[in-house]
Amino acid sequence: MRRTPRRRPHRHNDGGMPTSTSTLDLEIARPSAAVFDALTRLGALRGRIGTSGTYAGTVDVSEDPVRKGSTYVDRTPIGRLHGEVLELEADRRIVFRQATARADLDVRITYQLEPRPHGTRLVRTGEITTRRWLGIIHLIVVWTTRAENRRTMDALKASLEAGAGRLGR
């Protein structure tokens, strides 16, 4: 498995809010269509990646598989993150945005899928913006989120490569 974390330094967005970006890059020994299918079936996601101290599951998914404009809610210790699918290009690209009700935490997640001879290169880029009280602990939020992202991507890869829960039912 190739997993290359790339991080951009902590910066402030145009509104002066702390923003950080990180990228995970990994190879999954499954076709792009299978990886895309897993990423767009949010109702089955918890079964694929499990839960943790920072992710309790995805609920209230408006459509499964999701499409552009679909909504969902991720349950976390800091609250419910209300999400929406912003972009969707079959087997190639998905963009999600999720935020707390007051936008204290605002996350934009982009998945780029690239077919490879023996599977798929998956690049996950997350941009985290914090406001108000979360802005004060921005670096802790970022560190915790990056660790959770690594966990979930490793779990997704393991699930897909083991053929567990193939979604062609």
Give the least confident one: 4-13, 40-49, 99-108.
4-13
What are the domain boundaries of the chain?
A: 6-162
What is the model's pTM? 0.85
Give the tens place of pLDDT for each residue, 10-68: 455 455 678 999 999 999 999 999 999 999 999 888 788 888 888 888 999 999 999 99
CATH topology for the 6-162 domain? Alpha-D-Glucose-1,6-Bisphosphate; Chain A, domain 4 (3.30.530)
What percent of the residues of the chain are helix, what percent strand, and what percent coil, each to the nearest 5? 30, 40, 35
Whether the upstream peptide bond of residue 115 has omega within 30° of 0, thus cis, is no
Burial of 169 (0-12, 13-18, 19+ CB in 10 A): exposed
Report the pLDDT averaged over residues 94-98.
97
